[in-house]
A and B are shown apart, each in its own frame.
Chain A
Amino acid sequence: SKRWCSEKMTRKKNDRPNEAPLKWEWQYVQGPYLIVVWIMVASLAKILFHLSYKVTKIVPESCLLIMLGLGLGGIVLAATNKPEYQLDPNLFFLFLLPPIVLDSGYFMPSRLFFDNFGAIMMFAVIGTVWNSFTTGFALWGIKMSGLMSDKVDAGLMDFLLFGSLISAVDPVAVLAVFEEVHVNETLFIIVFGESLLNDAVTVVLYKVFNSFVEMGTINVHPVDYFKGIASFFVVSVGGTIVGLFFAFALALISRFTKRVRIIEPLFVFLLVYLAYLTAEMLSLSSILAVTFCGLCCKKYVEANISQKSRTTVKYTMKTLASIAETIIFMFLGISAVDTSKWIWDTALVLFTLLFILVFRAIGVILQAWVLNQFRIYPLDKIDQVVMSYGGLRGAVAFALVILLNGAKVKAKDYFVATTITVVFFTVIFQGLTIKPLVKWLKVKRADQHKPTINEEIHERAFDHILAAVEDIAGQSGYHHWRDKWEHFDKRYLSQLLMRKSAYRIKDDIWDVYHKLNVRDAISYVDQGGHVLSSAKMSLASMPSRTSFSENSVTNLIRENGSGVCLDLQVIDTVRSIRDREDTVMHHVLTGNLYKPRKRFHSNYSRHFISANEQERQECEVFQRNMRRRLESFKSTKHNVYPTKSKARHKRDKSQKKKNNDANDTIPNGKPRRNISWQNPAPIAVEIESEDEENDNSETEKDEGITFVARAADEVFQERTPSSNLDVCQSPCVIPPSPTCAEKELPWKGRQGDLPACVSSETTKIVPLDMQQAWNQSISSLESLASPPITEIQLQPTLAELDEFPSPGPTPLHLARFQFPDSTLTTQHNSDDESPDSIQQQELQPLVSYERPSWLGQSASSAGTRWPVQFNRASRVSLLKNLVSGSTSNLGGQSSSSQTDL
C-alpha cells in the first residue's frame, strides 16, 4: 500500500539539508502519514457533505465521493503532470473490502436472509451466470457485426471474461445507494444478498475465463469446462466452509474471554480477517467466507461478550467499513483521471451499458416469475423494476479489470475504460435516479383516498392480526428446517459455544415466564393479592404502562369525572374546530400507531447508528404483553385461592409495621411521605422483606435466570411510586424529587454502573430471536446517555421525543410537569415549561399533553423498600393546579395513609 505514495515524496526529501537542527524524517513516516492524511481528507469530506442535509438527501454519498475523487485526481494530475494514485487491486482486496463485507455479514439480519435464501441464491448464481454469458455473447456479436472499432482486439473468450467481471452486482455500491433509498426489507435483502453471494460466481467465472484466455482458445479442451463448473462448487462451498470454521472457532474462543474482557472485541476482528486471508490463500471465495463467518458467529459471540464489548465491536466495525467505503469511492474517482490506462471506444461503452441494463432486466423478470411460483410474498412489478435498476457495479469490477494481464488480454485498456464508465454510470446516474424512481412508482401505485379514523385504526389492527396469524401458521419461510435447526442449535451448538450463564438464560421464553409467573403468583397470593412482587420489577426496567383493566378504580374515575370529557363536549358543538382535530388525530395516529412487524432492522447506515423505532416499539409491546400475561395469570391464581390470601393478609400487616419502623430510621432526616390516590383501601406496599428478596435471588440462581430485581430496585428508588397505585392502574404518580440525603443513600451510590447492568439483565427475558434487537436498542440508549441516567432507563423514548416531528397544526409536545427542585427532570423541564406550552395546552384541550404515565407505572413495582409516594397529575387541563396541588398535598396526606397502614 505504500508503494503508490512513496515515489513522489522521496524526491522532495532529497533536497533538504542534513545538518539542520530540526531533523526532517519524512521518509521514515511517509507511508503511514500519507494513509492517515488520505483518510483524514475523506473523513473531512464526509463532514462537509453532511453539513447540508439537502445535498445528501438527493445525492448519495458514493456519488459525492467519486466526484471528490475526480476533483482531487485532477488537482494531483495538474500539479505533478502525471497521475499518481490508483485504486490498487491488492490494497482493495486485502484491506478495503474485508471490513465492508464483515460489516454486512455481521449485521445481516440472518432471519430475513435465510427466509429469502432461495431467491438470493437464484439471483446470485443463475442471475450472475446469465448476465455474464449474455453480455459476453452479445458484445461478441456486436464485434462480429462490425459495429465496434477494429482496434478492439478481442475474441469470444475475452468478451466472456469481460462479461464475467462487469456483470456482478457490487455489494459496496448497492449498500451505499440502497441504504439511502428506503425500499422494503425483502427487496433490500435480495439485492444485497445477491451482491454478496455472487462473489463466488464472479470469482470462478473470472478465473476460468482468464485461464482460458491465457491458455489460448485453441488449447481449451472440453474437460476444462467441466473443471470450471467443478471449481465453482469448490470455490463457493470451500469459502463457506472456511467461514463456518472460523465462526466456530471465534464463538468457542469468545466463550473463554471472561477475564480478559478488554481484548474480546479484538478476537472478532482477528478471526474474521484470518478467515478472509485463509480463503484468499486457498483461492476460495473470501467474500463468502467472511459473510458466513460474520453471519454465523454473531449469535454466540453476542451472547458471550459483555455489553461494552458488543458496543465496541459494533462501532469499530462501522467505523472501519465506513472508512473503507469512503476510500474506495474516492480512489475510484481518482483512478479515472489516469487516462494513460484507458482507451475509449464509444460503441463498446454504449453497447456494454445497454446490455447490462437490458439483460439484467430480462434476467430479473424471468427469475422473478419462477420465484413467484413458490413465494408467499410475490415480487411485484415495482420490486422487479427496482431490482433491475438497482444492479449497480462497483469497485470489485474495477479492481478485477485492473488485474487483467495486458499482455494476454489485448483489449485490456478498452475494457478498463468501459468498466470505469459503467461503474460511474451505475453509481452516479442510477444512484441519483433510483430514489426518485422508487418514489414515483410508489406514488403511482398508492391509491389516494383519505382514510377515516375507523379505517385507519382497523386497518392497522388487520395488519397486526395478519402478522400474528402468519407467525402462528408459520408462513414466513422454511419453518420446518428452521425448527429442526433451532432444535439442533439448542441441544448441541449453543451448549458448546455459549457460556453456561449465557446459554441458560437463552432458554425458551415461556419457560422463563412460566417460572416467573408461578413464583409471582405464589408471592402474590402470599401477600394478600395486592402486592406486585419482584418478578414484575424485571419488567419494570422497561418503559411501559400496564394494560387497561376495565374495572380498575382509575378507569372509573376517568370515565366519570374527567375534565377532558367536559372539554370534549364543549368542542363537539363547534364544527370548524372539529375538522382541525380530525387532522390532529390523524397525525397522532399515523405517528404513533405501532407499525406491523418487520424483521429487518436497518443497521446498514454508515453515517449514524440511531435508536431504531422498531426496536423501541418491540420493547414497549413486549413489555405490555408480558405484563398482561402476568396479570391474567395472577388473577386466575387469585381466584383459585381466595381464602388463603385473606388469611395471609393479616400477617402481612404486621410485617409491614416492622418494615415501616425500619424504614423510618433511614437517615435522610425526613419523615416518609406516603400518599395514595383516592386512598381507596389499605393496600400493602412495603411488605417484601429483605429475607424474601434473598429467597428470590436464590431461586433465580437455581433457575439460571437473573432478574433485574436488585438493579431495578436501586434505580427506581428515586421515583418510587406506590404499588397500590399500580394496582389501581392509577396514572397519578409523580416521581419524587430526591433530596440530597436521599441521593447519598448507600444503595444509590452505584448509579453510574446501572445502565449496563440493567440492560444486560433485561436481555435475559427477551425471546431468543429478539435478543439482537434488544441489545441494540439498549446499546443505542447507552450512546444517548446524558447525565440523569435513571431518566434514560425509564424513558428511552424521551430523547427521541424531543425530535418528534410536530404533527398537524398544533405541535405535539409532551408537556412535562415541573417538580420543585427536581434534579432528575430538570433537563426535560427546561424547554417545555415555558408559558407557551401551557398556553398551547389550554388552546387545545382535546388533544392534551401529558408526561407518559407509564413512567409511574414502570417504576411502580420497585417501591418495596422505600415507600415514598407522590400524587401525579394526570389531567392536563388541570395542569397548573395540580402541579402545585400535588406537591402541597404531599405533606398533608402522608399521615393519613400512614395510619391506614
Chain B
Amino acid sequence: MGATGSAVSRVPGADEIQKETGFSSAHIYRLYDRFQVLDKDDNGVLSRRDLQSIGELAVNPLGDRIIDAFFPNGVETIDFRSFVRILAHFRPTEENRQREPNASEPLNSRNSKLKFAFQLYDQDKDGKISRAELLQVLRMMVGVEVTDEQLESIADRTIQEADLDGDGTISFEEFKKSLEKVNIEQKMSIRFLR
C-alpha cells in the first residue's frame, strides 16, 4: 500500500509514535488507516465495542481477553497512540540492533512479548497466574468434550510443572522459565504490512 510523506503527516503525533514503537512511517500510515476503519463513530478513539465488532474475534477463543488487553486499567477508550503501542508488542524483533543504553526496553523485546501474554492469564494483576486463572483460560481454549475434571487435572499438572517455588501459582519469572526453549521472538510476532 503506497504511503506518502504527506499522508503520514495526516496521522496525529506520527513522529513520536514512530520513535516510541519502532514502526516505520508506512506502517503507521497503514495502521492509522485501519484504526479509522475500526473507529465506527469517527471520534478518534476506539471503544471495546469497536473491537468486538470484528467478526473473527468472535470466534477466537481468546478474542475477548485480547480486547481487554487493549484497554488496560479499565479505560473505556484508547486513542491511536495506545493502539499502536499495544500492536508494537508484536513487531518482529530486529536482530543485532543496538539501542542506546539509557533507552527503555523496546516494546517488542522477548520480555515485553512474554509480559503481554502473561497479562492475558493474570486477570487480577497480582503478578501470578493462579489455578483458577489458568483454568479460565484453559476452558476457553479447549473444546467442550474435555470435562472440567480433566481440565482441572491438566491445570494442576501445568502449575506443578512450572511452579518452582511451590506456592501453587505461576509467577512471571516461572512463566518465562517454562517457555525458555520456545522461540518467542518468532511465535509472538506478526509481519506488518508496509
Q: Which residues of A contact B (CB under 8 A)?
A: 376-377, 449, 452-455, 457-475, 479-480, 483, 508-510, 513-514, 543-545, 547-548, 550, 555, 558-559, 562, 564-565, 568, 581-582, 585, 588-589, 592-594, 597, 617-618, 620-622, 624-626, 628-629, 731, 767-770, 797, 801, 804, 814, 846-850, 852-854, 874-876
Decide if B147 touches A853 in the complex (CB within 8 Å).
yes
A-B pairs with lowest CB-CB distance, top 6: A767-B55, A510-B53, A850-B147, A848-B149, A474-B34, A454-B178
Residue of B90, B148, B178 touching A853 (CB-CB under 8 A): B148
Decide if B58 touches A594 in the complex (CB within 8 Å).
no
Decide if A452 touches B178 in the complex (CB within 8 Å).
yes
Q: Does B20 contact A (CB under 8 A)?
A: no
Decide if B190 touches A466 in the complex (CB within 8 Å).
yes
Q: Does B172 contact A (CB under 8 A)?
A: no
A804 to chain B, nearest CB (A): 7
Q: Which residues of B contact A (CB under 8 A)?
A: 1, 31, 33-34, 37-38, 49, 51-64, 66, 70, 87, 90, 116-117, 120-121, 132, 135-150, 152-154, 156-158, 161-162, 175, 178-179, 181-182, 184, 187-193
A887 to chain B, nearest CB (A): 21
Residue of A468, A582, A814, A875 touching B63 (CB-CB under 8 A): A468
The closest CB in chain A to the CB of B52 belongs to A510
The interface residues of chain A lying within 8 Å CB-to-CB of B154 are 453, 457, 585, 588-589
Complex: A875 Cα to B62 Cα, angstroms: 28
Decide if B61 touches A850 in the complex (CB within 8 Å).
no
Residue of A480, A597, A849 touching B33 (CB-CB under 8 A): A480
Complex: A581 Cα to B148 Cα, angstroms: 16
- Known contacts A471-B54, A473-B192, A849-B147; is A628 also within 8 Å of B152 by CB? no
Decide if B192 touches A459 in the complex (CB within 8 Å).
no
Q: Apart from A454-B178, A454-B179, A472-B87, what are 7 other A-B pairs with CB-CB below 8 Å?
A: A376-B192, A468-B66, A479-B37, A548-B139, A555-B132, A628-B64, A797-B143
- Known contacts A473-B192, A474-B34, A620-B143; is A465 also within 8 Å of B62 by CB? yes
Decide if B178 touches A465 in the complex (CB within 8 Å).
no
Complex: A804 Cα to B158 Cα, angstroms: 25
Residue of B37, B141, B178 touching A464 (CB-CB under 8 A): B141
- Known contacts A472-B70, A474-B34, A558-B148; is A581 also within 8 Å of B53 by CB? no
Decide if B191 touches A376 in the complex (CB within 8 Å).
yes
The interface residues of chain A lying within 8 Å CB-to-CB of B137 are 461
Residue of A458, A582, A852 touching B157 (CB-CB under 8 A): A582
Complex: A548 Cα to B139 Cα, angstroms: 8
Residue of B52, B117, B132, B138 touching A465 (CB-CB under 8 A): B117
The interface residues of chain B lying within 8 Å CB-to-CB of A466 are 90, 187-190
B44 to chain A, nearest CB (A): 17
B90 to chain A, nearest CB (A): 5
The interface residues of chain B lying within 8 Å CB-to-CB of A514 are 49
Decide if A564 touches B59 in the complex (CB within 8 Å).
no
The interface residues of chain A lying within 8 Å CB-to-CB of B38 are 472, 474
Residue of B59, B116, B143, B146 touching A622 (CB-CB under 8 A): B59
Complex: A30 Cα to B102 Cα, angstroms: 90
A463 to chain B, nearest CB (A): 8
Decide if A594 touches B61 in the complex (CB within 8 Å).
yes
24 examples of A-B residue contacts, CB within 8 angstroms: A377-B191, A453-B157, A453-B158, A454-B158, A454-B179, A461-B141, A467-B60, A473-B34, A473-B190, A474-B38, A545-B139, A550-B136, A555-B132, A564-B149, A585-B153, A588-B150, A597-B60, A625-B58, A625-B63, A629-B64, A767-B55, A797-B144, A848-B149, A849-B147
Complex: A474 Cα to B190 Cα, angstroms: 11
Complex: A377 Cα to B187 Cα, angstroms: 13
Complex: A104 Cα to B59 Cα, angstroms: 26
Complex: A377 Cα to B191 Cα, angstroms: 8
Decide if A510 touches B49 in the complex (CB within 8 Å).
yes
Q: Which of A462, A568, A767, A875 has the most CB of B within 10 A?
A: A462
Residue of B58, B145, B158 touching A592 (CB-CB under 8 A): B145
The closest CB in chain A to the CB of B55 belongs to A767
A318 to chain B, nearest CB (A): 25
Residue of B54, B58, B116, B136 touching A626 (CB-CB under 8 A): B58
The interface residues of chain B lying within 8 Å CB-to-CB of A472 are 38, 51, 54, 57, 66, 70, 87
The interface residues of chain A lying within 8 Å CB-to-CB of B175 are 458
Residue of B55, B143, B179 touching A458 (CB-CB under 8 A): B179
The interface residues of chain A lying within 8 Å CB-to-CB of B179 are 454-455, 458
The interface residues of chain B lying within 8 Å CB-to-CB of A564 are 149, 152-153
A673 to chain B, nearest CB (A): 25
Complex: A144 Cα to B142 Cα, angstroms: 65
Decide if B37 touches A480 in the complex (CB within 8 Å).
yes
The interface residues of chain B lying within 8 Å CB-to-CB of A874 are 148
Decide if A848 touches B142 in the complex (CB within 8 Å).
no
A840 to chain B, nearest CB (A): 14
Q: Which of A455, A548, A564, A581 has the most CB of B within 10 A?
A: A548
Decide if A625 touches B178 in the complex (CB within 8 Å).
no
The closest CB in chain A to the CB of B116 belongs to A465
Decide if A801 touches B145 in the complex (CB within 8 Å).
yes
Residue of A454, A464, A475, A797 touching B145 (CB-CB under 8 A): A797
Complex: A555 Cα to B139 Cα, angstroms: 13
Complex: A464 Cα to B49 Cα, angstroms: 20
Complex: A520 Cα to B5 Cα, angstroms: 48
Decide if B142 touches A594 in the complex (CB within 8 Å).
yes
The interface residues of chain A lying within 8 Å CB-to-CB of B193 are 376, 475
